[in-house]
């Protein structure tokens, strides 16, 4: 279902207000070939209505012939900004960059943020953005989780399907994704609502058993046969199972890059307005799957780059795998139990959604 410009401009205005956009500040809207026209139109209208000086910077797409997917998060590292001094200068001189193109995991993104500019990524369809307009509650809930991560030394993850994983923490910061950029130098992604960090380099051991209904991104498929991934010294050492294991293994092998098998970020979903089932309702290329990354109670882990957290690994292959029904603990305190987020007292949130069956 579409949303009207009126509704979408209102959503943008709310996100820009939460991002503390002030009259007279400079907003640069970063676009490329895949930018959604209604998102562009409404982002410019909302920024202008709030008194900002609004620019648009349109860049030529890159990597199309290298990537096996058109998903903007599938092939990372170099972007249309790579080596583009004029474009980088314009973004560094902006107070707020609305990234309707996807800079995520790019070295240039860090250079722009270091100048104090804020970057908000927004590439999901307009109706998804309107369904998950961020709130102060989202921010509070995610910051509570990242504060706990920041104080923790070990994350353990288990599941009835057989997952037994241990991640040493502390080398990298915890990252809060709550959908708006309220401080200079902050990056965020609308829609989101999850907490993540990177395990220490080489500090992840164990096995991950993906079960029926867990999700592979960027493939955007629910797996039907279990997949076992053995992790040793921070790298996936084997990926075994049925058809979906082959799909994952073959896709990763196509990058011919040993670094693609490294652990990337680990964390859990905290967005009650995101749903596990949404991916089944969209054509593959119509979404990048943020409902899957953000649904409350998922364990989201990923393989590949760590430059987003300040590491040096910029492998172009990035795999995100949201899992259901895991138990996630930090220094022995369970934050998710069998897919149910625990509140600070360690009891399951009262599910807002009524159950009728």
Ligand X SMILES: O=c1ccc(O)c[nH]1
Choose between 41 and 275: whose C-beta lies nearer to ligand X: 275
**Judged by CB under 6 A, does residue 189 bind ligand X?**
yes
Count the site residues for ligand X by CB under 6 A: 8
Contact 330/149 with Cβ under 8 angstroms? yes
Provide the 3-class DSSP secondary structure of residue 175: strand
Minimum distance from residue 194 beta carbon to ligand X (Å): 8
Transcribe 185-242 into DSSP letters: T-EEESS--EEEE-PPTT-EEEEEEE-TT-EEBTTTEE-SS-EEEEEETTEEEEEEES
Query: Closest approach of Cβ 105 to ligand X, in Å?
Result: 7
Give min distance, CB of 188 to ligand X, in A: 8
Output 54 or 324, the one with its CB closest to ligand X.
Answer: 324
- 313 lines the binding site for ligand X (CB under 6 A): no
User: How far, rounded to the nearest angstrom, does the alpha carbon of residue 92 sit from its chain's CA centroid?
Assistant: 23
Q: Choose, by CB under 6 A, the member of 192, 287, 306, 315 that binds ligand X.
A: 192
Helix (H) / strand (E) element for 263: namely strand 263-269
CB under 8 Å to 87, separation ≥6 — which residues? 57, 59, 80, 81
**Tokens describing residue 85:** 């001094």
Counting contacts by CB under 6 A, is residue 99 touching ligand X?
Answer: no
Q: By CB under 6 A, is residue 320 in contact with ligand X?
A: yes
* Contact pick of 15, 73, 129, 252 for ligand X (by CB under 6 A): 73
Q: Least distance (Å) from ligand X to the CB of residue 44? A: 23
Helix and strand totals (H; E) in the chain: 8, 20
Pick the closer one to ligand X by CB: 73 or 87.
73
Among 71, 95, 177, 296, binds ligand X (CB under 6 A): 177
Pair 157, 328: CB distance under 8 Å: yes
- Quote the CA–CA distance of 110 and 308 in Å, as a whole number: 8
**Shortest gap between Cβ of 270 and ligand X (angstroms)?**
13
Instruction: Tell whether residue 324 is a contact of ligand X (CB under 6 A).
Output: no
Do you find a cis peptide bond into 198, omega within 30 degrees of 0? no
Residue 12 or residue 198: which is nearer to ligand X going by CB? 198
Query: 5 - beta bridge partners?
Result: none
CB of 356 to ligand X, least distance (A): 32
Least separation in angstroms between residue 123's CB and ligand X is 10
Say whether residue 71 binds ligand X (CB under 6 A).
Answer: no
User: Which residues bind to ligand X, rule: CB under 6 A?
Assistant: 73, 104, 177, 189, 192, 293, 302, 320
């Amino acid at each position: 279902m579409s949303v009207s410009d009126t509704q979408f401009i209102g959503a943008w205005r709310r996100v820009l207000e939460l991002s503390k956009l002030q009259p007279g500040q400079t907003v640069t809207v970063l676009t490329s070939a895949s930018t959604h026209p209604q998102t562009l139109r409404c982002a410019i209208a909302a920024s202008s209505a709030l008194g900002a000086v609004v620019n648009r910077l349109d860049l030529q797409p890159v990597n199309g012939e290298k990537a096996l997917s058109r998903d903007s998060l599938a092939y990372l590292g170099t972007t249309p900004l790579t080596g583009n001094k004029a474009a980088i200068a314009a973004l560094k001189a902006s107070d707020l960059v609305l990234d309707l193109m996807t800079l995520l995991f790019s070295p240039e993104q860090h250079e722009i943020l270091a100048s104090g500019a804020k970057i908000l990524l927004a590439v999901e369809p307009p109706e998804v953005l309107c369904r998950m307009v961020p709130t102060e509650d989202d921010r509070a809930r995610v910051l509570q989780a990242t504060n706990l991560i920041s104080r923790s030394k070990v994350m353990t993850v288990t599941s009835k399907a057989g997952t037994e994983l241990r991640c040493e923490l502390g080398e990298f910061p915890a990252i809060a994704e709550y959908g708006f950029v309220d401080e200079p130098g902050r990056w965020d992604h609308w829609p989101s609502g999850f907490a993540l960090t990177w395990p220490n380099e080489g500090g992840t051991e164990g096995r991950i058993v993906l079960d029926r209904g867990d999700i592979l991104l960027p493939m955007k498929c629910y797996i039907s046969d279990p997949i076992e991934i053995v992790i040793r010294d921070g790298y996936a050492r084997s990926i075994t199972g049925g058809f979906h294991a082959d799909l994952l293994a073959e896709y990763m092998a196509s990058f011919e890059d040993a670094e693609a098998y490294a652990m990337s970020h680990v964390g859990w979903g905290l967005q009650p307005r995101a749903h596990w089932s949404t991916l089944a309702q969209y054509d593959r290329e119509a979404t990048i799957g943020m409902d899957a990354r953000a649904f409350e109670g998922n364990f989201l882990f990923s393989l590949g780059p760590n430059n987003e957290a300040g590491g040096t690994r910029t492998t172009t292959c990035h795999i995100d795998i949201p899992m259901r029904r895991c138990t996630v603990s930090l220094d022995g305190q369970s934050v998710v139990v069998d897919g149910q987020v625990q509140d600070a007292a360690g009891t399951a949130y009262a599910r807002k959604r009524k159950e009728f069956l």
